[in-house]
């Protein structure tokens, strides 16, 4: 971690796993980000850019050029583009969000591209990012997923997170609200 002008920020790093490279978003990711974030399967559980607001190409451009980098430099977290090491194609987004520096808590947030679902990429990325966060000194890493989003809940479970409970009516969706299953990973969980 770096402290800049009384603000903590995470270091800019590339993480690699067996099949993935997690790196900063770049201009060449815009088309794949747009295609992913307009997918009805993603929009069902993650109302980007906000409940009732349609996702536009301009949103994808802003994400890659400004929003994702600003999360790190502003001290609010970090976002990585998940790309296949073999092909270089974007398969999703993985990030640390809702960083609480005083408590050293953070949350892993992610989405996967429709062409990459069911291949274990989200789990592989979540393991890499959560373990890296613990190495950076975080004392608690969370994953929150809508209770009906079984795919996302499986990611948390396969990544070694423990289900703690449910936050009722905690997340607004495009239509209605969702209860959130809360999972956590602590340094002591890794033995």
- pLDDT score of 5: 46
Q: What is the value of pTM for the model shown?
A: 0.94
- What percent of the chain lies above the pLDDT cut of 90? 96
The span from the CA of 75 to the CA of 72, in Å, is 5
> Can you list the positions of beta strands (E) in the chain?
2-4, 7-9, 15-16, 20-23, 78-84, 90-100, 105-112, 140-146, 162-172, 177-185
Residue 82 lies in a domain: yes
The number of folded domains in the chain is 1
The answer to the question of residue 128 being in a domain is yes
Does 79 reside within a domain?
yes
2 belongs to a structural domain: no
- How does the average pLDDT of the chain come out, rounded? 96
Domain contains 185: yes
**180 domain-assigned:** yes
Domain membership of residue 20 as a residue range: 13-190
Task: For residue 17, give the CATH number of its domain.
Answer: 3.40.630.30
DSSP H helices, 79-148, are 121-135
* Residue 41 in this model has a pLDDT that exceeds 70: yes
In the structure, what pLDDT confidence band is assigned to residue 191 with cuts at 50, 70 and 90? Answer: confident
Residues 6 or more apart whose CB falls under 8 angstroms from that of 160 comprise 127, 130, 185, 189, 190
pLDDT at 53 over 70: yes
| Bridge pairing between strands 105-112 and 140-146 | parallel
């Amino acid at each position: 971690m770096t402290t800049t002008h009384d603000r903590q920020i995470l270091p800019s790093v590339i993480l690699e796993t067996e099949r993935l490279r997690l790196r900063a978003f770049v201009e060449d990711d815009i088309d794949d980000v747009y295609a992913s974030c307009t997918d009805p399967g993603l929009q069902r559980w993650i109302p980007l850019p906000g409940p009732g607001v349609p996702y536009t190409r301009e949103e994808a451009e802003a994400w890659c050029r400004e929003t994702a980098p600003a999360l790190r430099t502003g001290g609010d977290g970090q976002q990585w583009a998940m790309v296949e090491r073999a092909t270089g194609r974007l398969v999703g987004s993985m990030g640390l969000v809702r960083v609480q520096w005083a408590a050293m808590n953070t949350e892993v947030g992610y989405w996967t591209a429709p062409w990459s679902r069911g291949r274990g990429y989200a789990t592989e990325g979540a393991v890499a990012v959560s373990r890296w966060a613990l190495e950076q000194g975080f004392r608690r890493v969370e994953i929150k997923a809508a209770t009906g989003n079984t795919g996302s809940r499986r990611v948390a479970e396969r990544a070694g997170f423990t289900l703690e409970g449910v936050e009722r009516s905690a997340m607004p969706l495009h239509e209605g609200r969702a209860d959130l299953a809360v999972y956590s990973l602590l340094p002591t969980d890794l033995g």
